[in-house]
Structure 1
Amino acid sequence: MKKAAGIVAAGHPVTARAATEILRAGGNAFDAALAAMFAGCVAEPVLASLGGGGFLTARTAGAKPLLYDFFAQTPHGRPVESELDFYPIVADFGTAQQEFHIGMGSIATPGAIKGAFAIHRDLCRMPLREIIQPACEAARSGVRLNSFQHYIAEIVSPIIQSSPQALQLHASSRKPGAIAELDETVCNPAMADGFEILALEGEDLFYQGEMGRQLTSDCHARGGCLTRTDLESYRVARRSPLTLNYHNSQLFTNPPPAIGGILIAFTLALLEQEKLGRYPVNSADHLGRIGHAMRLTQQLRNDRELGSGPAINIEHEILSSEFIESYREVMRNHKGFSRGTTQISIADSEGNLASMTLSNGEGSGYVLPGCGIMLNNMLGEEDINPHGFNQWPLNRRIASMMSPSLVITPDGDTIAVGSGGSNRIRSAILQVLVNLIDFGMEIEQAVEQPRMHFESDLLNIEAGPSTHAIQALRKEFADIRCWPDKNLFFGGAHSVMRKRNGQLSGSGDSRRGGVCYRV
C-alpha cells in the first residue's frame, strides 16, 4: 500500500483540496497550509482574507513547536472619533443577534501577508507562485456557494452590502446587485491577480509599496486610522508556545499576548484532577464539571481583565500550582459559584504538523481596489476591544482568542487542533481535547460530540445530552439555553492526528462546513 502523503482538515472543500494538491506535488505540511490559507480567502471570504491576520503553530518533525503570530496590530495614532468612518451593523444568527462595527475606522494593521511570507521563508520548500496556483484557479473558475458559506453570507449581509466592492466578492451572476444564491458559482479574478502580483513582487508591495499606499491614502481620505508608519513597522512575531502537561499529554498553544491559549490551559489545569473519563459521556457529572471550569475561567478573565493590558509573564502566575489550587478549591464546592475565523490543520508523512487559525473579523466593508482583498474590522470587534471602541492602546498586538494548538500524547501520537468561533474558540478546543485525552475517542467522534459554552452567566448546550442530565445541570446553572441542533456558534474545530506508526486520521467539523481529505 502506498504511504499517505498527508491529511488535511479545513472549513471548505476548495480550501482542503488546495492543500492536498500541494502535498501530492511534493510539498510539506507548511507548503500545504499556505495553499489552504490562500484558497480559504477565495472559498471562505467571510472568514479569511489577506486583509486580516492569524496564527500558525508549527512543528517540524522531531523539533520543538514554534508559534507564528501574524495577527492584527492597533495603529500608532488614534484619530478624533468624530472623524472616523465607524458605524454599527447587526448580524442575525437566527437564535441570537450580535452588533459589529465596520467602516474604514474599524481597520487594524493586517498581518496575513507578512505572515505568509515569513512562514514561506522559514518552513516551506516549494515556490510561492506554485503554492498559490490552486487558489488562483479557484478564484478565476469560480467556487460554488455551498449551504454553510451561503448561511454565513446571509448573517453578515449588511457588511457585504455596505459597498459595491464588498458585494462584488459575493455577487450573484443571475441577479445584479444581489448576493449570490445557494449553488451559484462566484468568480473573483481580481483576487487571483492580487495573489499573483504578491507572489511576484513580495510582501513589500503591501507594506511599503503600491498596495499599501492605496490603503493608507483611502484611510486618510475616508475616515480610517492606518498610516504608512503602521504598515512599514509591522513585524511577524515568532514565539515559544505556551506548554501544559495534561494527563501526560503535552499541549502547545498560543501564548500571551493572545489570551485564548492561557484560558484553555487554565481550564484544563482545573479539570485534570476531576478525571472526567470515569463518568459517562454527556452525563451531568461530565458536563457539570466542564461547565463549572468554564465559569471559573470566565471569572478569571473578568477579574484579571485578560486582554485589557500587557500580559507579560502572566502565564507563570496563572498556571502556578498555588494559583490553580485556589480555583480547584472552588471547583470542589459547587455551591460557592454565584466570529469570523477559520481553522486549517495538516499533518504530512514526514511528521510535520501545522495548525493555523485565520480571521478577518467580519470584514470592514472596504476592499483594496484591483486585488479583491477585504480589510479586517478588528477595531470594531467588541470581544477584542474590552476598553471600548476607539480606546485601544496604541501600536499593540490585539489580544486574540485564536489558539491553534498541537498535542503530543504519551504514546507519541501528534494532534493539530484549533477552531474558529470568537469567544467560543477556547470552549471548542477544550472539549475536543477532553474527548480525545480523557475519553479516548477517535478524532471524528471527538470533534462531532455535542458542545457547551459558558459566558455572561449563560450556559449554552448543543442537542445531545439527555433530559435528565439537563435537569441536573439546571440545579447548578441558573440560566441554560438548549440549542436544537449543532451550530456554527460552537466553533469549527477542524483537526488531524498522526499516530506514532504514521497512520493519519482527521475530521472537518460539520458545524462550519468542515471537510477532511487524506492524500
Structure 2
Amino acid sequence: MKIHAKGIVAAGDRQTAQAAADVLAEGGNAFDAALAGLFMACIAEPVLCSLGGGGFLLAQPAAGNRDGAGVLYDFFCQTPGRRLPEGDLEFLPAPVDFGAASQEFHIGMGAVAVPGMVAGAFAVHKDLCTLPMTRLMAPAIELAGKGLPLAPLQSFILDAVAPIYQWSAESRAIFNSPTVPGATLRTGEVLALPALADLLGALAKDGPDLFYKGDMARTIAAANDDGGAVDMADLAAYRVHRRAPLSRRFGAAEILGNPAPSSGGPLLAFTLGLLEAKTMEPGPEHLTRLAAAMALTDQARGASRLDGGSDDDKVGELLSEEFLAAYRAEMPGRAAKTGGTTHISVVDGQCNAAAMSVSNGEGCGHMLRNSGIMLNNMLGEEDLNPNGFFKWRPNSRITSMMSPTLVRWPDGRILALGSGGSNRIRSAILQVLLNHLCLGMSLEEAVGAPRVHMERDLLHIEDGHGQDVLRDLTARFANHQTWPDRNFFFGGVHAAAHDPNDDTFTAAGDSRRGGSTA
C-alpha cells in the first residue's frame, strides 16, 4: 500500500489500524496514533494486548530524524519484589495447540508479573503526544462498551488458548461462544468488555495512579493474595525506563533496535552482523546461510549469557568484531551440517515514526474484578524464563524477545517495523529486512515472502519457496518441518515507511497475523 497522506499505519487488526489512522487524519502525530491503536487492540486483539501486560515503543521524533535522537520506552513487565515459596503460588500448566505445533505455558496468579502497559502509555503521552488522552481512548471505549465482532484471526488465537480463557468462571462468561457449547467466541460473534470501557474512562480522567496506587492497585494486590506475589508496593514502585536505542549500520542504512536488558534487539543486531550488508540472490544458498546464522545466533545467545538478562557489557561483547568474526568463521560449516504479541507501526508527515510491540503473554487465566482485564503470565513463559521457573531476580525487568525496529537512511527515509511471535520475532524481522534491503523486494513483497526459522537444530520451512528450493533445503537439513500455507507460527511483521523526498507513505500488514493498513 503506497499513498500520499498525513501518515500511514500497519497493525495486527483492521480496527486497530483504523483507530490509529483516524487520529492521523485529525492532525495527531504518529505517537498519538500508536496509543489510539494500543487501546483499540485491547478489545480488537484481546489475547495479544491487555492493560495487564507490557511492551516497548521505539520512537523517532521528527526533530531527531537524521541525528540519532531516537528513544526506546521500556514499559515491559517487572518481577515482584519478593519470591514466595513455590508451594504458596498458584502456578499450573496450560497446553496450547497452534495446529502444527503445541507449547506448554503456565498460568495462575503465580505467573503474574508487574504490568507496565498503563504506565508506558501515559509516559509516551506526556512526552510525545499532542491530542488529549480522552480522544485517544474514545474509539476503544465506544467499542468495548457496545461490543465488537471478533475477526477470524482473533477467533483462531482465542480457540488456541481456550484452556486459559476458559479456566475461570469469570473468563468463560466473557469469552465463551453463545452458540457453540464449550467453545470460545467464533468469528463474527461479539466480544463486549463494558468494564474495560469504564476503566479506560476512569484512567483518562484520573491518570495512571488509579492503576498503580489507587483502586485498581488494590484490586490487583487482592487478586494476588490467592497464590500470587505482586503486591501494592510492587505496583507503586513500577517505573517506565527511557533508553537509548541500540544502533547498528547495515549498508547505507542505520538500524535502531531494542537495547539491553531485552535480548531481542541485541540478538537481531548480532545476526545482521553475521550476514553483513550486501546484495543477495534468492534461493537455497541464501536460505541455507540464513538458517546457519539463526543457529549460530542461538549458540551465541548462550555463550554471551544473555539469558540471565542482558546488560551493556554483555551486549558490547556480543556485538564486538572479534566475537562476530569467530562466529562468521563457522558459517560455511554450519550451513552444511544442518506468542502472544502484537505490533503497531506508524509514520507521519512530520517525520515522526513509532514502532510499538506489546504482549500479555497468554494471560494468567483470571479476569480482574470490574476491569475487563486479564493479567499477564510472563513468569509462566518458558521463553522468558530460560534458566527455569521461580529463579527470577526480584524487582528486575524481565528480558524480552520483542524487537520494535526503525531503519533510517541519510536522505531522511524511515521505516518502522516489528513482529509478534515469541522466539520467531527475530527471524521474522530479520527476513523482512534482508528481503527489502538486500534482495530488492518492495515492502509488501518483503513481508509476504515465505520464511524459514531455525531453532534447536530444527529448520521450520514455510510453504511457498518452490519445489526446487524445498528439495534442496530438506536435503541439506535432515531435521526439518514443513508448514502449509502462510502460517501464524512465523510471526507477523507490520511495517510502515515514509519517504520525505516525495512525501509518500508505504505500509504492509502481515496476513499471517491479521495484518491491516490504513
- The equivalences for 1:170-185 within 5 A come to 170-174=175-179, 178-185=183-190
Does residue 269 (structure 1) correspond to residue 273 (structure 2)? The answer is yes
Q: Is the 8 A contact 1:330 1:336 kept in 2?
A: no
Corresponding residue for 2:136? Answer: 131
Distance 2:238 2:337 in 1: 43
Tell me the TM-score normalized by structure 1.
0.96
Shift of 1:376: 0.1
Corresponding residue for 1:486? Answer: 486
- The equivalences for 1:396-411 within 5 A come to 396-411=396-411
Corresponding residue for 2:349? Answer: 349
Shift of 1:285: 1.1
Tell me the TM-score normalized by structure 2.
0.96
The verdict on how the C-alpha distance between 1:335 and 1:142 changes in structure 2, with shifts beyond 3 A counting, is closer
Shift of 1:172: 3.1
- The equivalences for 1:89-488 within 5 A come to 89-174=94-179, 178-220=183-225, 222-272=226-276, 275=278, 277-279=279-281, 281=282, 283-334=283-334, 339-488=339-488
Where in structure 2 are there 5+ consecutive unaligned residues? none
Distance 1:309 1:412 in 2: 34
Q: Say which is worse superposed, 24-33 or 326-335, in terms of deviation.
A: 326-335
Distance 1:210 1:84 in 2: 24
Distance 1:124 1:237 in 2: 17
Query: What SS does structure 1 have at the residue aligned with 2:419?
Result: coil
Q: Is the 8 A contact 2:452 2:460 kept in 1?
A: yes
Shift of 1:278: 3.6
Distance 1:184 1:318 in 2: 48
Distance 1:32 1:428 in 2: 24
Query: What SS does structure 2 have at the residue aligned with 1:494?
Result: strand
Q: Is the 8 A contact 2:263 2:306 kept in 1?
A: yes
Query: What SS does structure 2 have at the residue aligned with 1:342?
Result: strand
The verdict on how the C-alpha distance between 1:219 and 1:52 changes in structure 2, with shifts beyond 3 A counting, is same
Q: Is the 8 A contact 1:109 1:234 kept in 2?
A: yes
Distance 1:210 1:453 in 2: 44
Q: Is the 8 A contact 1:258 1:307 kept in 2?
A: no
Distance 1:243 1:223 in 2: 41
Q: 2:227 corresponds to which letter in structure 1?
A: G
Distance 1:172 1:27 in 2: 37
The verdict on how the C-alpha distance between 1:302 and 1:478 changes in structure 2, with shifts beyond 3 A counting, is farther
RMSD, aligned α-carbons? 1.6
Distance 2:358 2:173 in 1: 22
Deviation string 1:19-74 (CA, Å, 9 cap, x unpaired) is: 01111222111011000000000100110000000000000114121100000011
Q: 1:235 corresponds to which letter in structure 2?
A: R
Distance 1:191 1:477 in 2: 48
The verdict on how the C-alpha distance between 1:310 and 1:483 changes in structure 2, with shifts beyond 3 A counting, is closer
Distance 2:132 2:77 in 1: 26
Corresponding residue for 1:66? Answer: 71
Q: 2:81 corresponds to which letter in structure 1?
A: H
Shift of 1:394: 1.1
Query: What SS does structure 2 have at the residue aligned with 1:114?
Result: helix
Distance 2:124 2:418 in 1: 18
Where in structure 1 are there 5+ consecutive unaligned residues? none
The verdict on how the C-alpha distance between 1:335 and 1:454 changes in structure 2, with shifts beyond 3 A counting, is closer
Q: 2:242 corresponds to which letter in structure 1?
A: R
Q: Say which is worse superposed, 118-127 or 143-152, in terms of deviation.
A: 143-152
Corresponding residue for 2:505? Answer: 504
Corresponding residue for 2:9? Answer: 8
Query: What SS does structure 1 have at the residue aligned with 2:330?
Result: helix
Deviation string 1:174-215 (CA, Å, 9 cap, x unpaired) is: 468752222112211111111110111110111111101111
Distance 2:306 2:132 in 1: 40
Distance 2:309 2:196 in 1: 36
Q: 1:47 corresponds to which letter in structure 2?
A: L
Q: Say which is worse superposed, 145-154 or 160-169, in terms of deviation.
A: 160-169
Query: What SS does structure 1 have at the residue aligned with 2:471?
Result: helix
Identity %: 49
Deviation string 1:271-290 (CA, Å, 9 cap, x unpaired) is: 116x3x342x2x11111111
Shift of 1:247: 1.1
Shift of 1:466: 2.5
Shift of 1:173: 4.1
Shift of 1:384: 0.5
Query: What SS does structure 2 have at the residue aligned with 1:356?
Result: strand
Q: Say which is worse superposed, 297-306 or 21-30, in terms of deviation.
A: 297-306
